[in-house]
Structure 1
Amino acid sequence: AAFTHWNLDINEKWGLTAGLRYSRDKKNGAMLRNAFTAAPNAVFRVLTAQPGPEFDDNYSEDAFSGSLSAQYHYSDRVMAYASYSRGYKSGGVNIDNSGAGTNLNNPEEVPGAIPEDPTYRAEYLDGYEIGLKSEYLGGRARTNLAVFYNDITDLQLAQFQGTKFTVDNAPEATVYGLELENQLLLNETFALNFDLTHLAEARFGNDPVLGILADREFAMAPEFSANLALDFERPLASNLNLFGRVGMVFNSDIYSNTSNNLKVSSQSEYAANIGVRSDSANWALTAWCQNCTDNRYASVHFDSPLQSGDYNAYVSYPRTYGLTLRGNF
């Protein structure tokens, strides 16, 4: 790759930022099977899952990506901006056992069968964003607001389908919403932080090639997510400070599997820590707790191997707590 990045101050109010990148990707992927039972009643053969065709394939891509943004400074404390970015994610070769299809695509299993293409295409994103960054109350408060719109082409979609891993391209997808970041210094001891993300849309295009995913929302993409935290720090003695944090993370309900037919309801988790640090001796001792209320829920679902219509799940981490001693030297 080769890239360049430029910052230009036009005058005291206006600024421009521009970047350009050229990428060339070359990849090789192969699946060669040393042995597979010849028994006609082998489980994976009966399930029309394996042995898939062997392959040795190449992928290459040349692409340009980059960004362009303009900033306007209303004052030393307030800045507005607008930006466009072109994102690129290289394609590749799916080296799963079924990357070129199942045994029904294997000419050695079914005479005349045609192997599938194990490669997947590059993903491109055109992103547009306008925003405002501001400080006020004498520099004690900060608010950043951004509204964004992302148009995605050939979105790479990885799925586990019980007996195989697939990587496909969704021809189009759209994501747009807003992000809000706030920080307020309440006094010399306490600081309040609040962040909010609203995904008004995170959806696949309505293309028949996507099957049940056509016009559906993304998995793992809550409409609302938020963080609320209270930080504090105050001196205990010379070069010895007491510090701590109490926080909450909230996510609204989500599709929890890549087929988008299972959901997890909205969840909140709480975390806290308290400790002492010595700035002069470069050490800190912290007592902490994660998921303090021991909220247990299925965070991700996936197809159960060899059991059509059945699902497994990864469960959220339980309540954990402990002590951490950290030193710098």
Structure 2
Amino acid sequence: MVSYELGNKSSWLENRLQFNAAYFYYDYEDLQVNNIEGALVVIRNAGEATGQGIEFDMTWLMTESLQLLVSGNYLNAEFDEFSPAIDNIPTDLSGETMPLAPEFQLSTSLLYNQVLSSGGEIDYRVSYSWTDEYYFEVGNTEEEAQDSFGLVDARIAWTSADTQWQVAVFGQNLTDEEYLNYAGGLAKYDLDAPITVSAIDRTFGASLEYSF
């Protein structure tokens, strides 16, 4: 594999704002991928594949207590030469998008720190992440694809003045977004449809930590 990366790191507003960005390019030769052929998982040489994109991250200390984090990336990853057997049928996948390679991704978090008169602290965090459509398997079929989706998470944590105790409550996927962790597998051979594994539903929890 041959890869290149060109990036820049910068600071603004008396170092309260940091912004980093990079362009990357990679070129695979003799790339190996898993592919389902009949009832078997076969590792095949996918020939050549290329990927390129841009990624960035930003940290902004808006006040002494409030901080904003933002990151994202654009990715274009595809097979240049790949002709496997899909369901025992030779198929030319040259130019198709590689599996697990969403074109766009974005995440942002807002953090707030509250100092208490007792000396302890309460940290608040709310996060949002968005992922573009992507495919789980080679072939780019809609049955083995995940549509774009966004997730909202939140967390509140109290830390004692001596930092030994921390109590936190959190919520994941607060909007109860329905999405998949996986779609594909040998069930395609048995049932003529890919097996699907759902991701986590809306979840709430709490934690208690003590440091010696």
How far apart, in 2, do the equivalents of 1:168 and 1:324 lie?
45
Say which of 112, 137, 147 aligns to 1:257. Answer: 137
Counterpart check, 1:171 vs 2:47: yes
- AA at the equivalent of 1:251: T
Could you list the runs of 4 or more consecutive aligned residues of structure 1 that deviate by over 4 angstroms after TM superposition? none
In structure 2, do the counterparts of structure 1 residues 162 and 207 end up closer, same or farther at CA, with 3 Å as the change threshold?
Answer: closer
- Normalising to structure 2: TM-score of the pair? 0.89
How far has the Cα of 1:159 moved from its partner?
3.0
Q: Contact 2:84/2:92 (CA < 8 Å) preserved in 1?
A: no
How far apart, in 1, do the equivalents of 2:137 and 2:92 lie?
13
Please name the residue that 2:27 is paired with: 151
In structure 2, do the counterparts of structure 1 residues 279 and 213 end up closer, same or farther at CA, with 3 Å as the change threshold?
Answer: farther
Q: Contact 2:61/2:67 (CA < 8 Å) preserved in 1?
A: yes
Q: Sequence identity, in percent?
A: 27
Please name the residue that 1:317 is paired with: 200
Structure 1 unmatched ranges of 5 or more: 1-124
Q: How many residues align?
A: 204
How far apart, in 1, do the equivalents of 2:171 and 2:27 lie?
40
How far has the Cα of 1:256 moved from its partner?
2.9
In structure 2, do the counterparts of structure 1 residues 160 and 325 end up closer, same or farther at CA, with 3 Å as the change threshold?
Answer: farther
Q: Which has the higher contact order (CA 8 A, sep 6+)?
A: 2
How far apart, in 2, do the equivalents of 1:260 and 1:287 lie?
39
User: Once structures 1 and 2 are overlaid, which stretch shifts more, 149-158 or 295-304?
Assistant: 295-304
Q: Contact 2:59/2:70 (CA < 8 Å) preserved in 1?
A: yes
Q: Contact 1:274/1:288 (CA < 8 Å) preserved in 2?
A: yes
Counterpart check, 1:205 vs 2:80: yes
How far has the Cα of 1:306 moved from its partner?
4.2
Q: Contact 1:196/1:225 (CA < 8 Å) preserved in 2?
A: yes
Q: Contact 2:67/2:110 (CA < 8 Å) preserved in 1?
A: yes
- AA at the equivalent of 1:269: L
Please name the residue that 1:196 is paired with: 72
In structure 2, do the counterparts of structure 1 residues 166 and 279 end up closer, same or farther at CA, with 3 Å as the change threshold?
Answer: farther
Please name the residue that 1:136 is paired with: 12
- Normalising to structure 1: TM-score of the pair? 0.59
Q: Contact 2:46/2:81 (CA < 8 Å) preserved in 1?
A: no
**For each residue in 1:294-315, what CA deviation from the matched residue of structure 2 results, as whole angstroms up to 9, or x when unmatched?**
1112332114164263221111
How far apart, in 2, do the equivalents of 1:307 and 1:206 lie?
29
- AA at the equivalent of 1:139: N
Please name the residue that 1:307 is paired with: 190
How far apart, in 1, do the equivalents of 2:135 and 2:41 lie?
19
Looking at CA atoms only, which structure, 1 or 2, has the larger radius of gyration?
Answer: 1
How far apart, in 2, do the equivalents of 1:298 and 1:207 lie?
26
- AA at the equivalent of 1:312: I
Q: Contact 2:68/2:109 (CA < 8 Å) preserved in 1?
A: yes
- Aligned-residue Cα RMSD (Å) equals 1.8
